[in-house]
Structure 1
Amino acid sequence: MSSTRTPTYILIGLLAFAAIGLLAGLYSGLLRLGLLSDLSTQPISPILHGPLMINGFLGTLIGLERAAALDKRWAFAAPLLLAASSALLLAGFTTIGQWLLVAGSVGLAAVMIYLYVLQPKVYHLIMALGAITLLVGNILYLWDWPIFELVGWWAAFPLLTIFGERLELNRIMRPPKRAQHFFTALNLLWIGSLVVVHFDRSLGWRISSVLLIAIALWLFKYDIAKRTVKAMEWTRYSAISLLSGYSWLVITGLLGFWQGFATAGPYYDGLLHMIFVGFVFSMIFAHASVIIPSLSGKLVPYHNYFYLPLMLLHGFLVIRITGDVMHWPGIRITGSYGNVLAIILFLGGIIFQLFFSKRKSLTENP
């Protein structure tokens, strides 16, 4: 299942760098919550939480997945640069790391645009626009813009990538051309609303929120998940993860329309984590059984265990958002720790199943 020309060990190595970016990002997030606050110096800067999660983890992972699918050597520059930039940021070389973030996102945008040129379909266009929004966010980060000013562009990267992928994968549902054009228009308008945010934050994000709800409702209507939820094993698990993620997208839109997009505080925290934890990680859980084999060459055996981290992810996110909305810091922190636990349990389950599968294979085929 891995690329026919790219050695599997290279794919696994870059996948490991994405995992390191994830773990480092989670750890820096815990530092933001006050973990090890009694230390005079922190092992990782808490302000790296966003850059590591967006670039070190998601950027490296998505860049690797696209490069492996394209199977062009130059395409691997993007995940390599994004992984290297994370290492430099962690080592304290901030400026060089930021420049490599920009270079890596240029490479990723080039890959996505190349895919669109090869096959000019609307889903490739949406994914290419997602890579461009990452580039915009990273340029603003290089220019030392406040995170709250650029985080919308960072959020657009995984959102648009996922929207494009779901449109591509749902071709089997054959949504009408008019529906596909409407979905594309919603995505384009959503990008436009991010520009409006810079001029009128309240109005821009309320427009964004309405569009997010519309996109989620479109996915509910046309995504094959509403059929495959009746299937078994990974197929059913993926469908449940997808539908729960779309639900969080609706809730994100409702909260955003109600409160706008604050620059800090509990509503800011809640809004971002409904996007990144509620939606994005639901999508990661949903697609892991496909992504991991495509990069490692090994199937991930299904087990009902994986429902545990999925339930914990959503359950603790509800706790976290409750703490945000009710201004209960202790509840918010509890939910945050629970979200980290859920993600680690999922990652651990994947690793365990891969090792179990390997031992079984070696036993059956000495």
Structure 2
Amino acid sequence: MVGAATPAARTGRPARTSPKGGWIAARALFAALVGVSLVAGIAGGLWRLGVAVPDPLAFAWAGQVLLVHGALMICGFLGTVIGIERAAAVNRRWAFVAPLASGTAALCLVLGHQAAGAWLGVAAAVSFLAVNALVVWRQRAAHTLLLAVGAGAWVVGSLLFALGQGGDAVFPWWFAFLVMTIAAERLEMTRLMRRWPAASATLPAVLSLLLAGAAWSGAAPRAGGLVYGVALALLAVWLVVFDVARRTVFTQGVSRYMAVCLLGGYAWLGIAGAAWAAAALGWPARDIALHALGLGFVIGMVMGHAPVVLPAIARIRLRFGAFFYLPLAALHLSLFVRLVLGSFSEPLRAAGASLNAAAIAFFAVTVAGAAVAWRIQHGAEGARKAR
């Protein structure tokens, strides 16, 4: 009725924000932090190769972004996305501290506050390790233990970064975090197959070799890098041999798409391992090693899992279709231009990097279009049912 007292007026307390409104605000905040990390990280990578889009001299913080390109992409973008996924899985509010800290750390790095950003990154990694400890406590299994070890690798890498260590010491740990997280998820999926006895025994050995290479890389980059590269190559072989993707690639729909993403990513992982070892031996293969791993393998995994993960953690429904293969093909083509043709020509390497950025943007547009298509389709179905 008009003039009736509201609950807040009757009790003298302010009305509470609805849970739905709070969830929308949280989604918007995390989307903004992820977006800033990704855009700034891509811009920094392009600027490092001389691609000015826009001109980096127009921004006072451009030099800072150039220096922290890897931190923005690995910890700011991917760390925040993985942190959100894990927090949603454990269903605890405090678990969202990790992605909030990693996203805020990236924002600090973009704005030039490197010390604050670096130590916030440490806090994010430690919080994420606590979340994974909860996962292990709930379900003690090989894949959950591996997730926790991967989180520990993020802690070590972030501590080294905060203490001012160089890329030779930091990147192996950060990439170990990503690689072990993916390996753990694929290990869990192998339960759907009849697993060879060698599968369970060899994966811990390969990943132990990876961690040994990461630890060794800081003190002896040549030897540590060689061990690390061999471990990456061995992991690629393990995944190709034992992963369920080699069967689901013969299915249809989203399962087949995921398998194509995975198998393509494993190929880039093998290339990254060979290039990492070659770079340790003095060959000019560092760009190949870092981006075959970071883009070909890791971003390939992101593209493959997005149709399944986004509906689960962001409540975004997607209409899957063959058009999802287009940004995936664009990513592989861009990597070929950058890492293969670009080995012989700096302009081609810069062009390939621009195509890398375009492929990621293309995928984002594809996901947004799939979400709109789902809403249009189901809105029309609802209208038909109403009639």
TM-score, length-normalised on structure 2?
0.87
Tell me which structure has the larger Cα radius of gyration.
2
Alignment of 1:184-195 (within 5 A): 184-195=204-215
In structure 2, give the amino acid aligned to 1:70.
Answer: V
Instruction: Verify: 1:159 aligned to 2:179, yes or no.
Output: yes
- Name the counterpart of 2:140: 120
- Name the counterpart of 1:296: 314
Distance 1:117 1:48, change over 3 A: same
- Name the counterpart of 1:273: 291
Report the number of matched residues: 360
Asked if 2 retains the 8 angstrom alpha-carbon contact of 1:261 and 1:268, the reply is no
Cα distance, 1:198 vs structure 2: 2.2
Specify the SS of the correspondent of 1:175: coil
Cα distance, 1:213 vs structure 2: 1.6
In structure 2, give the amino acid aligned to 1:23.
Answer: V
- Name the counterpart of 2:164: 144
Instruction: Verify: 1:365 aligned to 2:382, yes or no.
Output: yes
Cα distance, 1:171 vs structure 2: 1.1
Asked if 2 retains the 8 angstrom alpha-carbon contact of 1:12 and 1:295, the reply is no
- Name the counterpart of 2:329: 311
CA distance in 2, matches of 1:223, 1:91: 42
Cα distance, 1:33 vs structure 2: 1.9
CA distance in 2, matches of 1:342, 1:261: 31
Instruction: Verify: 1:39 aligned to 2:57, yes or no.
Output: yes
Asked if 2 retains the 8 angstrom alpha-carbon contact of 1:78 and 1:108, the reply is yes
In structure 2, give the amino acid aligned to 1:277.
Answer: L
- Name the counterpart of 2:363: 346
Specify the SS of the correspondent of 2:263: helix
- Name the counterpart of 1:14: 30
- Name the counterpart of 2:8: none
Cα distance, 1:252 vs structure 2: 1.5
Given the alignment, which residue of 213, 219, 222 partners 1:202? 222
Greater relative contact order: 1 or 2 (C-alpha under 8 angstroms, separation 6 or more)?
1
Cα distance, 1:87 vs structure 2: 1.6
Distance 1:9 1:353, change over 3 A: farther
Asked if 2 retains the 8 angstrom alpha-carbon contact of 1:82 and 1:100, the reply is yes
- Name the counterpart of 1:217: 237
CA distance in 2, matches of 1:38, 1:91: 14
Specify the SS of the correspondent of 2:140: coil
Asked if 1 retains the 8 angstrom alpha-carbon contact of 2:334 and 2:356, the reply is yes
Distance 1:218 1:8, change over 3 A: farther
CA distance in 2, matches of 1:158, 1:247: 16
Cα distance, 1:266 vs structure 2: 4.8
Cα distance, 1:8 vs structure 2: 6.1
Cα distance, 1:24 vs structure 2: 2.0
Cα distance, 1:315 vs structure 2: 1.3
- Name the counterpart of 1:70: 90
Given the alignment, which residue of 45, 48, 51 partners 1:29? 45
Distance 1:43 1:318, change over 3 A: same
RMSD, aligned α-carbons: 2.2
CA distance in 2, matches of 1:218, 1:9: 42
CA distance in 2, matches of 1:269, 1:313: 16
Given the alignment, which residue of 144, 154, 167 partners 1:134? 154
Specify the SS of the correspondent of 1:281: helix
Asked if 2 retains the 8 angstrom alpha-carbon contact of 1:82 and 1:101, the reply is yes
CA distance in 2, matches of 1:173, 1:11: 36
Cα distance, 1:137 vs structure 2: 1.1
Return 292-301 or 240-249, whichever deviates more: 292-301
CA distance in 1, matches of 2:128, 2:122: 10
Specify the SS of the correspondent of 2:57: coil
TM-score, length-normalised on structure 1?
0.92
In structure 1, give the amino acid aligned to 2:264.
Answer: S
1:323-354 Cα shifts (integer Å, max 9, x gaps): 4533x211111111111111110011001111
Cα distance, 1:250 vs structure 2: 1.1
In structure 2, give the amino acid aligned to 1:292.
Answer: L
Specify the SS of the correspondent of 2:250: coil
- Name the counterpart of 2:74: 54
Specify the SS of the correspondent of 2:68: helix
Specify the SS of the correspondent of 1:83: helix
CA distance in 2, matches of 1:259, 1:23: 28
